[in-house]
Amino acid sequence: MAEHHHRIRVYLASAILLLAVINMGIAAENLSQQKLTSRILQNEIVKEVNENQNAGWTAAFNDRFANSTVAEFKRLLGVKPTPKNEFLGVPVVSHDISLKLPKEFDARTAWSQCSSIGRILVEFILNYAFRDSLKKHSFEAFLGHCGSCWAFGAVESLSDRFCPQI
- Bridge partners of residue 39, in order along the sequence: 69
How far apart (Å, rounded) are the C-alpha atoms in residues 161 and 143?
A: 26
Taking only the tens place, the pLDDT of each residue in 7-60 is 666 555 555 655 555 555 554 455 566 777 887 777 888 899 899 988 888 888
Given a cut of 80, whether residue 154 has pLDDT beyond it is: no
Which whole number is the average pLDDT over 152-163?
70
How far apart (Å, rounded) are the C-alpha atoms in residues 162 and 114?
A: 9
Maximum average pLDDT range among 9-23, 47-61, 117-131, 136-150: 47-61
pLDDT of residue 124: 57
Which amino acid does the sequence have at 114?
Answer: C
Q: For all residues of the chain together, what is the average pLDDT? A: 70
Given a cut of 70, whether residue 87 has pLDDT beyond it is: yes
**H or E element, residue 13:** helix 2-37
